[in-house]
Amino acid sequence: QVLFALNQTLLQHESLRAGSLQAPYTTEDLIKHYNCGDLNAVIFNHDTSQVPNFINTTLPPHEQVTAQEIDSYFRQELIYKRNERMGKRVMTLLKENTDKSFFFAFGAG
């Protein structure tokens, strides 16, 4: 799975560099919409995480299964479990320090 993920990532980057694959939005697009307070922009209404997208309909069926397994694993580990850990830490800080004020800032994942 690691080799598959590395190969797919390299293929995506090579395609982007060669111009045969177009990213749906750029980092500059994200920054511009964020700075303008336009969080309802279409780029924020779907998965904009930095988790690599390994799912590709042109892959053979057995590789599509591998891609789905890797994609699910990354999303679970890098997004959902991370959010749970951060939420628990925030709750602990708030409960243990009721006399203090906090400011928490979180990335968009």
pLDDT digits (tens, 9 = 90+) for 13-69: 888 788 877 766 777 877 887 788 776 665 555 554 444 566 666 778 888 888 888
| CB of 8 closer than 8 Å to CB of 54 | yes
Lowest-confidence region among 6-10, 65-69, 105-109: 105-109
Q: What is the pTM of this model?
A: 0.50
Question: Region 1-6: what's the mean pLDDT?
Answer: 82
Supply 85's token pair: 């850990």
Q: What is the DSSP letter of 77?
A: I
Higher pLDDT, 80 or 57: 80
Contact 31, 94 (CB under 8 A): no
